[in-house]
């Protein structure tokens, strides 16, 4: 909270506030010149598999490089928390903070989900989103944020003194432990800040606090990704349901989410470049 105390405001405060915003990371260099290849290859997609994630639960799944996958709303409005790891090294995982710095607070078609250092490469590219129409509402909210981390039992304990075991953080921990046959403790260290799929969020205009509101997602809506490398995906059906009231409890109405997997034999994908790790030397010296 910012302290509003006239006694500590310097005389030149106004002039100090007059600097113009400068985009921290100009992204011309990031423009995916091959996005059209992906978009046109979509016509050759063939569904090969699907997986239903029950309410208030999570599942991990394999996503081979070069395939498309969709997270679909079924039965009712439901928010999902998505984690991504490299199949070959769990320490290469989705980097929510850097993705936010590059693409903004909420993702949409054409944006990519970047991996952690020292890899820092695209894990997936978003190739279609039926909620792109939502844009930004008058509260400054939009969908699919990379600002809200994930609901977790530690914050729930801090704020309400309740032990709740079905937050997205715990759901993802259990799912990764089961998928990799490792302990909850080992798995928890790899669970990371998520893409809040279908969640509608923003920062309040006055206090700039993180807020959520009812997700506009409806059955039939989906967000679609192209896998740039071999991935393990983890998806939690948030106990907040559509996140119109509260999370970290059993109170909200919750629904499953469907994950659909598509192979694609389009020759256009042969022209699509491989996602390679950063070429930085990793020397950290002159």
- Tell me which residues touch Zn ion (CB under 5 A): 151, 168, 238
Q: Euclidean distance between the first and final Cα of the chain, in Å?
A: 40
Per the DSSP assignment, residues forming a β-bridge with 236 are 58, 81
Nearer to Zn ion, 71 or 168 (CB): 168
Counting beta carbons within 10 angstroms of the beta carbon of residue 121, is it exposed (0 to 12), middle (13 to 18) or buried (19 or more)?
Answer: middle
**Smallest distance from Zn ion to CB 276, Å:** 33
Decide: 123 and 114 in contact? Cβ < 8 Å. Answer: yes
Question: What does the angle CA 172 – CA 240 – CA 130 come to, to the nearest 5 degrees?
Answer: 85
Number of H helices, E strands in the chain: 6, 13
Rounded CA separation 182/195 (Å): 24
**Smallest distance from Zn ion to CB 179, Å:** 19
Nearer to Zn ion, 63 or 82 (CB): 82
Nearer to Zn ion, 66 or 80 (CB): 80
Decide: 95 and 115 in contact? Cβ < 8 Å. Answer: yes
Nearer to Zn ion, 174 or 226 (CB): 174
Rounded CA separation 77/253 (Å): 9
Write the DSSP string, 135-164.
Answer: ---TTS-EEEESSS----HHHHHHHH----
Nearer to Zn ion, 123 or 191 (CB): 191
**Smallest distance from Zn ion to CB 256, Å:** 15
**Smallest distance from Zn ion to CB 157, Å:** 15
Rounded CA separation 218/76 (Å): 6
**Smallest distance from Zn ion to CB 81, Å:** 5
**Smallest distance from Zn ion to CB 42, Å:** 29
Nearer to Zn ion, 55 or 122 (CB): 55
**Smallest distance from Zn ion to CB 223, Å:** 16
Nearer to Zn ion, 168 or 176 (CB): 168
Decide: 264 and 41 in contact? Cβ < 8 Å. Answer: yes
């Amino acid at each position: 909270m910012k302290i509003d105390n006239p006694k500590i405001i310097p005389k030149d405060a106004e002039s100090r506030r007059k600097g113009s915003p400068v985009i921290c990371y100009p992204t011309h260099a990031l423009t995916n010149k091959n996005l059209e290849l992906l978009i046109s290859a979509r016509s050759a997609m063939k569904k090969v598999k699907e997986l239903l994630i029950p309410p208030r639960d999570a599942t991990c799944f394999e996503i081979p490089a070069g395939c498309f996958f969709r997270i679909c709303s079924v039965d009712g409005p439901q928010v999902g928390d998505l984690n991504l790891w490299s199949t070959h090294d769990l320490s290469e995982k989705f980097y929510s903070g850097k993705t936010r710095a590059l693409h903004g607070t909420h993702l949409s078609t054409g944006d990519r989900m970047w991996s952690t250092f020292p890899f820092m490469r695209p894990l997936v590219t978003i190739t279609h989103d039926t909620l792109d129409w939502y844009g930004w509402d008058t509260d400054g909210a939009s969908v699919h944020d990379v600002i809200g981390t994930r609901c977790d039992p530690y914050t729930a304990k801090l704020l309400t003194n309740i032990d709740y075991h079905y937050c997205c953080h715990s759901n993802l921990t259990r799912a990764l432990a089961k998928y990799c046959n490792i302990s909850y403790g080992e798995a928890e260290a790899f669970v990371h800040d998520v893409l809040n799929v279908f969640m509608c969020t923003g920062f309040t205009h006055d206090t700039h606090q993180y807020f959520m509101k009812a997700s506009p997602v409806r059955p039939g809506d989906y967000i679609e990704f192209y896998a740039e490398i071999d991935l393990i995906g983890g998806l939690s059906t948030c106990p907040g349901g559509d996140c119109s009231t509260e999370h970290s409890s059993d109170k909200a109405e919750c629904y499953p989410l469907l994950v659909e997997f598509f192979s694609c034999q389009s020759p256009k994908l042969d022209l699509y470049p491989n996602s390679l790790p950063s070429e930085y030397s990793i020397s950290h010296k002159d």
